[in-house]
């Protein structure tokens, strides 16, 4: 909270061995993210999105070479007044933190934020959530958060042991949507208790689903779309708790759809009646 009550400082750093640079590099490891409660986000867009959404940006590393560019100067001013420290560094230091050959001009250190499951309620008709059972792939998780945001879903629930929400890869794949909608964690029984308490409809997706995903009526209740793990799909226990099991028909030889793609199809079908038309 302290960040909100003071103006940040500007500090010039030249060495890779600087302790703040070292601490930022350590945030690649989940262990250090858990210890500090902070994560890395690359690029100017994510810094702006985080500041816009009121997340706590603790530190901003900015390449010295771009400091005079107006849009960068503006971000620096905003970050400082939001209480972030701005560390000006050689571009190579940013590459060292993000492990990229062609680094962006900015990398931010941001405080992690998870919503309690109850904060995703109360749900009303027209509200949609996505619940992911044991998602493993950071690209899939980021894509789902981005797509849920775009389709107008209210939030995302991570069910069971999921890949870390705050890894650089996940954050990158969300393209800023991480800051736009709440993400909560829940055990399977907490999810099903929440579904009943909210009088919502739990729609599981399953390769052995009994219903065509286009034949389900999504209009009567709040909808929670439940997606299965990339390798093993939904466990029987969770599938049994669903009000409907949806199948997206397939032709061709693919065993299944990618998790992110299947989630996108489900979201746009469940919210078809709620999404405005593009003018002809």
Binding residues (CB under 6 A) for ligand SAM: these are: 205-207, 209, 227-228, 230, 232-234, 246-248, 250, 256-257, 259, 262
Dihedrals phi, psi of 86, to nearest 5 degrees: -110, 120
Strands (E), 85-190: 85-89, 106-111, 128-133, 155-159, 183-186
Q: Which is nearer to ligand SAM, 76 or 238 (CB)?
A: 238
Q: Which is nearer to ligand SAM, 47 or 132 (CB)?
A: 132
Q: Which is nearer to ligand SAM, 90 or 235 (CB)?
A: 235
CA-angle at 62, arms to 47 and 101, nearest 5°: 95
Q: Which is nearer to ligand SAM, 43 or 209 (CB)?
A: 209
Shortest distance, CB of residue 97 to ligand SAM, whole angstroms?
33
> Quick one: 263 exposed, middle or buried, by C-beta within 10 A (0-12, 13-18, 19+)?
buried
Report the C-alpha gap between 222 and 203 in whole angstroms: 10
Shortest distance, CB of residue 240 to ligand SAM, whole angstroms?
15
Q: Quick one: DSSP state of residue 232?
A: T
Report the C-alpha gap between 264 and 97 in whole angstroms: 32
Shortest distance, CB of residue 150 to ligand SAM, whole angstroms?
18
Q: Which is nearer to ligand SAM, 59 or 206 (CB)?
A: 206
The residue among 224, 264, 229, 202 whose CA lies nearest residue 136 is 229
Shortest distance, CB of residue 117 to ligand SAM, whole angstroms?
20
The residue among 96, 87, 90, 98 whose CA lies nearest residue 39 is 98
Shortest distance, CB of residue 187 to ligand SAM, whole angstroms?
18
Report the C-alpha gap between 125 and 81 in whole angstroms: 40
Shortest distance, CB of residue 161 to ligand SAM, whole angstroms?
15
Q: Which is nearer to ligand SAM, 13 or 261 (CB)?
A: 261
Record the tokens describing residue 88, joined without a space. Answer: 């000006």
Q: Which is nearer to ligand SAM, 162 or 234 (CB)?
A: 234
Report the C-alpha gap between 147 and 144 in whole angstroms: 5
Shortest distance, CB of residue 259 to ligand SAM, whole angstroms?
4
Contact call for residues 64 and 92 (beta carbons, < 8 A): no
Crossing angle (nearest 10°) for helices 138-151 and 259-270: 10
């Amino acid at each position: 909270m302290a960040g909100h009550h003071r103006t940040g400082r500007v500090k010039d750093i030249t060495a890779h061995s600087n302790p703040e640079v070292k601490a930022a590099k350590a945030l690649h490891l989940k262990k250090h993210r858990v210890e500090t409660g902070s994560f890395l986000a690359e690029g100017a867009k994510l810094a702006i999105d985080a500041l816009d959404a009121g997340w706590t940006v603790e530190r901003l590393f900015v390449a010295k070479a771009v400091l005079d560019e107006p849009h960068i100067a503006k971000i620096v001013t905003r970050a400082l007044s939001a209480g972030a420290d701005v560390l000006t560094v050689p571009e190579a230091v940013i590459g060292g933190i993000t492990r990229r050959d062609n680094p962006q001009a900015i990398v931010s250190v941001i405080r992690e934020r998870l919503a309690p499951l109850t904060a995703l309620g109360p749900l009303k008709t027209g509200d949609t959530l996505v619940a992911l059972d044991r998602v493993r792939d950071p690209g899939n998780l980021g894509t789902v958060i981005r797509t849920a945001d775009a389709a107008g879903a209210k939030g995302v629930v991570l069910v069971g042991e999921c890949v870390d929400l705050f890894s650089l890869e996940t954050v990158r794949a969300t393209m800023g949507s991480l800051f736009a909608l709440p993400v909560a964690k829940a055990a399977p029984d907490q999810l099903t208790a929440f579904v009943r308490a909210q009088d919502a409809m739990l729609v599981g997706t399953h390769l052995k689903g009994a219903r065509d995903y286009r034949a389900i009526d999504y209009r009567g209740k709040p909808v929670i779309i439940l997606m299965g793990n990339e390798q093993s799909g939904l466990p029987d226990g969770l599938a049994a708790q669903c009000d409907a099991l949806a199948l997206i028909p397939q032709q061709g030889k693919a065993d299944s759809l990618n998790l992110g793609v299947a989630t996108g199809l489900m979201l746009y079908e469940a919210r078809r009646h709620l999404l405005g038309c593009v003018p002809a």
